[in-house]
Amino acid sequence: MSAFCQSTYRRVVAKPGDGVHTLLYRHGLTPSQHGRQFRELNKKNLTSRNGLIVGRTYLLPRKTATPAKAASRARTVTAPAPTTRRATISPRTLFGPKYGPAPVRDHLLRGAVYYLSPGHGGPDPGAIGTYGTNKLAEDEYAYDITLRLARVLMAHDATVYMMVQDPNDGIRDESVLKMDNDEVTYPNQVIPLNQLARLRQRITQVNKLHARHKGAYQRLLCLHVDSRSAGQNIDVFFYHHANSKAGLSLAKNIHKVFTARYKRAQPNRATYSGNVSTRSTLYEVRTSHAPAVFMELGNIRNAKDQRRFLVDDNRQALANWICDGLIADYRGRK
């Protein structure tokens, strides 16, 4: 007989991109408090590596009562990450009214510093795709995914710098993201039209911050949306500098997560074909003092790839998968 009466537990369905941590967080539970019981409750419905299966129903543990003293400590620890406060745009404005700053759920990334650089922005929308009568701009989708990544990293107590910030967009759940050009470079600089000037401006700030955090584990993530021919769908690709062992390790860890999650989320699709390779000529990869990974997340002009960006759950899944790769890299550091 089961140790738990299943009828007394809430049932939820795993979505694409969900891991145990993500599922628990979404329903107000923490892995440190509820992870073990969750695995016990659902051991027959987990993969051999304790992963979730998309579309399958899982039982949620009950929330445990929190003593007043512990609750007081929890309120202190759920303050937004201090780094984002130093930005000109406040955390609440940065993430928007629907989401707001992320509460700290655990300390898996305490001590890690991330510089997040979504592609293009300001006067340069990047690649443009079409969806019916709508235009889809690379910078809007790269920015939304990067914001989601920033928020989930903060939930693991990481220090996060958004190198591009929009004063009014926040995280958006719409399929078609409205185009604008009011983004700024951290902390509050007008983004130039010239590509080299734009990248130089961004990396100058990254390298200044890198010196401030001397001795810490620091990584730069550059998120882009590809713009190949409309007929070509692509998987996610990861580029690093040829001389950066740390960049290679980071790229491999994220790629490993994507390979495993694609297999779980889309078991009937062909093998995931994204890969890790060197591309030392990329300005951000070449000039950043922090080890860097440059990611191409799909083709904004291809109808099949567009589903990866148009569905907000898919954008969140991309952010979650990247975060899981970052956690693996941080925990495996030497």
Q: Which residues contact 254 (CB under 8 A, 6 or more apart)?
A: 238, 293, 295, 321, 322, 325, 326, 329
Sheet with 276-278, strands from edge to edge, namely 159-162, 112-118, 217-226, 292-299, 237-240, 276-278
Q: Is 72 exposed, middle or buried (0-12, 13-18, 19+ CB in 10 A)?
A: exposed
pLDDT tens-digit profile, the chain (334 residues): 334 444 468 898 988 767 787 777 677 777 777 888 898 899 988 888 778 888 899 999 887 644 333 333 322 222 333 333 333 477 778 999 899 888 899 999 999 999 999 999 999 999 999 999 999 999 999 999 999 999 999 999 999 999 999 999 999 999 999 999 999 999 999 999 999 999 999 999 999 999 999 999 999 999 998 766 555 556 789 999 999 999 999 999 999 999 888 777 665 655 566 899 999 999 999 999 999 999 999 889 888 888 889 999 999 999 999 999 999 999 998 6
**Consecutive H or E run containing 309:** helix 303-310
Task: Name the phi and psi angles at 175, rounded to 5.
Answer: -75, -50
Q: What is the pTM of this model?
A: 0.75
Where would I find the beta strands (DSSP E) of the chain? Answer: 10-13, 57-60, 112-118, 128-131, 134-137, 159-162, 164-165, 184-185, 189-190, 217-226, 237-240, 276-278, 292-299
Report the alpha-carbon distance of residue 116 to residue 293 in Å, rounded.
10
Name the token pair of 206.
């990254």
